[in-house]
Structure 1
Amino acid sequence: MTRRRRTYLAIAVLAGVLVTAGLGAHRGDRDDAREDPCSDLEDLSEFCAAECGGVAEAFADACHAACMMGVCPKELGYTKQDPIWSAPCTDMAGARFWDEIDGAEVRCEYKFHWFQDQKFDPATFYECWRAEAEQRCPEFIGTDWWPRFQVARGR
């Protein structure tokens, strides 16, 4: 078998495994796994309240708004006139701050697959999180945003 054929065969086998695994990941006994999270905004609000539960009271509304908008942007909408959304990304009292931080965290979770890896290295993960957040909001660079964020989220 030529090298080119082995390469194509390896790609075909890998694609088959990925498709099979992907299809299996969406199966389950629960019907609510396919439910639109935006169909019940009250449930989503409770979920977001729990997600923001440890956040300092001064920033809880902004965290909650960012969580809600992160899941259901079309259903909720927002306007630039709303102070919670017009705040710069460096303002912890603004939803954009929490949205950028959450996006950075999710990206690093995906990058490191920490939920699957038994050898999770917190220092590496947090460095990724900080760097990703600073890429999303360059105004963070050179400021003390990370320790202030840790305090605001109760860490």
Structure 2
Amino acid sequence: MNAQRVVAVLNGPNLNLLGEREPEIYGHETLADVEARCRHEAARHGLAVDFRQTNHEGDFIDWIHELRHSAAGFVVNAAGWTHTSIAIHDALAAVAGPVVEVHISDVHAREDFRHHSYVTPVAALVIVGHGVTGYEEAVAEIAARVGAEG
């Protein structure tokens, strides 16, 4: 499959604990379940997925740099870095394709410190509070914006 037909799905800190950590907020599905949902949605549009998670901000930024020209678009859940990282904002500002920011919970209905996002200014769309289905919505949005099949 052509590299331009890949959606990068990048996940930040603590998302490896999805399904275990605060299930009353984040639900019971695991990150592997989210990955399967993304792959299924992408396949419906003739796209592939490069799905990654890290607890290390430098790795996250390196992945953005690595994929900035080759990915058709980015689905980004920067998790806690959303509210703290100008460096991630700057890296995402350099990507060629659309960026869709995703948050499983409604960050605007939570603690005040979660209300500000450094990702939002470089995102084409922000999806919050839709649970893990927000990832599928984000992949579909990337597909629509890049003119994918399906």
- Normalization by structure 1: what TM-score? 0.29
Higher relative contact order, chain-length normalized (CA < 8 Å, sep 6+): 2
- Normalization by structure 2: what TM-score? 0.29
Pair member with larger Rg: 1
Relative to its length, the structure with more strand (as a share) is 2
